[in-house]
Amino acid sequence: MRDYELTFLVHPDLEMNPEPAVNKVKELIEKNGGKIIKETVDGKKRLAYAIKGQDFAVYYFYEVQLPATAPAKIESALNITDEVLRHLLVAVDPRKIKAMEKQAARQANRDENEEVVTEEKAEEEA
């Protein structure tokens, strides 16, 4: 199983009751042998350009694990789903994730060192 990120935009008329559309996507993922790792709802946002005559959409972001054959099946099903205005399914490169984690750790160490130096200067001046 490989890690993927799925972003999809739901029709804005479903903002009050998005469960049927969201459940349809969840069932599609699970039916194809996938597993949802993380789910994020970004809410209703204005689109940069109109999609299917709509200026707004409700944004959803999923981190999923899928078998090799599932992405093509999921994308073809999402293409014909009326509730989903747009979708994007991309594979996550594990090397980039590790590199980003290392960079974040280095930045955290730098920030800690700067705080210690700042505290030492403040003590010397006092």
Q: What is the C-alpha to C-alpha distance for residues 36 and 26, in angstroms, rounded to an integer?
A: 8
Q: Which tens digit of pLDDT belongs to each residue from 63-114?
A: 999 998 999 999 999 999 889 999 999 998 888 878 888 888 888 888 777 7
At 65 the pLDDT is 93
Domain positions in the chain are 2-92, 93-126
∠ CA 107-61-6, rounded to 5°: 105
Q: Sign of the CA dihedral 75, 95, 62, 38?
A: positive
Q: What is the C-alpha to C-alpha distance for residues 123 and 126, in angstroms, rounded to an integer?
A: 5
Instruction: With cut-offs at 50, 70 and 90, classify the pLDDT of residue 10.
Output: very high
pTM for the full predicted model: 0.74
Q: Which CATH superfamily hosts domain 2-92?
A: Ribosomal protein S6/Translation elongation factor EF1B (3.30.70.60)
